[in-house]
Amino acid sequence: MDTSDEKKLEQLGSFEISDQMLRLAQNNQRQNIFLNAGRGNPNWINKKARLAFNRLVEFGLSESERTISEGDLIGYTKQQDMLTRFKEFLSPETKEIDAFFLQMLDYSQQLGIDTEMFIKELTDGVLGNNYPVPSRVLKNSEIILNHYLESILYNGASLADQTDIFPTEGGTAAIVYIFNSLRENKLIRPGDRIAINTPIFTPYLQIPELADYELVEVNLQSTEDNHWELLPSELKKLADTNLKAFFIVNPSNPGAKALTPSALNEIKKVLIKHPDLMIITDDVYGTFVEDFQTIYAVAPHNTLLVYSFSKLFGATGWRVGLIAAHKENVFDRLIRQLPNDEQRQLNQRYHFVVMEPEKLPFIERLVADSRSIGLYHTAGLSTPQQIMEVLFALTHLLAGKKDAYIDASRSIIQQRYEDLHNVLGISTDDTKGNSKYYSLINIYELAETRYGKAFRQYLASHFEYIDFLVRLAEKNGVVLIDGVGFGTEAGQLRVSEANLPTPDYERIGRQILEILEEYHDIFKKADTSGK
Ligand X SMILES: *Cc1c(COP(=O)(O)O)cnc(C)c1O
Q: CA 198, CA 488: separation in Å to the nearest integer?
A: 8
Contacts of residue 162, defined as CB under 8 A and 6 or more positions apart, other chains included, come to: 300, 326, 327, 328
Among 253, 287, 294, 499, binds ligand X (CB under 6 A): 253
CA distances from 209 to 172, 179, 194, 202, 498 (A): 17, 12, 11, 11, 29
Sign of the four-CA dihedral 76, 81, 83, 89: negative
Q: CA 285, CA 250: separation in Å to the nearest integer?
A: 7
Shorter beta-carbon distance to ligand X: residue 24 or 390: 390
Which 489-508 positions form the footprint of ligand X (CB under 6 A)? none
Position 40 contacts ligand X (CB under 6 A): yes
Shorter beta-carbon distance to ligand X: residue 120 or 436: 436
Which 134-193 positions form the footprint of ligand X (CB under 6 A)? 170-172
Q: CA 68, CA 62: separation in Å to the nearest integer?
A: 11
**Residue 179: CB minimum distance to ligand X, A:** 13
Shorter beta-carbon distance to ligand X: residue 247 or 444: 247
Q: CA 141, CA 389: separation in Å to the nearest integer?
A: 8
Shorter beta-carbon distance to ligand X: residue 41 or 151: 41
**Residue 255: CB minimum distance to ligand X, A:** 11
Element (H, E) at 482: strand 481-482
Which 319-378 positions form the footprint of ligand X (CB under 6 A)? 321
Tell me whether strands 481-482 and 492-496 are parallel, antiparallel or unpaired.
antiparallel
DSSP character at residue 215: P
Shorter beta-carbon distance to ligand X: residue 41 or 129: 41
**Residue 104: CB minimum distance to ligand X, A:** 24
**Residue 283: CB minimum distance to ligand X, A:** 9
What is the x/- site pattern for ligand X, positions 424-443, by CB under 6 A? --------------------
The answer to whether 421 and 428 are in contact (CB under 8 A) is yes
Q: What is the largest CA-CA distance in the chain?
A: 91
Straight-line distance from the first to the last Cα atom of the chain, in angstroms, rounded to the nearest whole number: 29
Shorter beta-carbon distance to ligand X: residue 310 or 476: 310
Shorter beta-carbon distance to ligand X: residue 168 or 511: 168
**Residue 172: CB minimum distance to ligand X, A:** 3
Shorter beta-carbon distance to ligand X: residue 141 or 253: 253
Shorter beta-carbon distance to ligand X: residue 247 or 465: 247
Among 59, 201, 247, 288, binds ligand X (CB under 6 A): 201
Shorter beta-carbon distance to ligand X: residue 151 or 172: 172
**Residue 389: CB minimum distance to ligand X, A:** 11
Element (H, E) at 103: helix 96-110
Number of residues that bind ligand X (CB under 6 A): 14
Position 60 contacts ligand X (CB under 6 A): no
**Residue 282: CB minimum distance to ligand X, A:** 5
**Residue 17: CB minimum distance to ligand X, A:** 17
**Residue 99: CB minimum distance to ligand X, A:** 30
Shorter beta-carbon distance to ligand X: residue 40 or 477: 40
SS3 149: helix
Return the number of other C-beta atoms located less than 10 Å from residue 71's C-beta.
5
Question: What's the 3-state SS for 126-169?
Answer: HHCCCCCCCCCCCHHHHHHHHHHHHHHHCCCCCCHHHEEEEEEE
**Residue 315: CB minimum distance to ligand X, A:** 8
Shorter beta-carbon distance to ligand X: residue 321 or 477: 321
DSSP sequence for 24-81:
HHHT-TT-PPPEE------S---SHHHHHHHHHHHHHHHHHHTT-EETTEE-----TT
Nearest residue to ligand X, using CB? 170
What is the x/- site pattern for ligand X, positions 278-317, by CB under 6 A? ----x-x-----------------------x-xx----x-
Q: Which residues does residue 249 pair with via DSSP β-bridges, in sequence order?
A: 282
**Residue 311: CB minimum distance to ligand X, A:** 6
Q: CA 248, CA 254: separation in Å to the nearest integer?
A: 12
Position 249 contacts ligand X (CB under 6 A): yes
DSSP character at residue 493: E
Judging by beta carbons within 10 Å of its beta carbon (0-12, 13-18, 19+), is residue 100 exposed, middle or buried? buried
**Residue 490: CB minimum distance to ligand X, A:** 22
**Residues in touch with ligand X (CB under 6 A):** 40, 170-172, 201, 249, 253, 282, 284, 308, 310-311, 316, 321
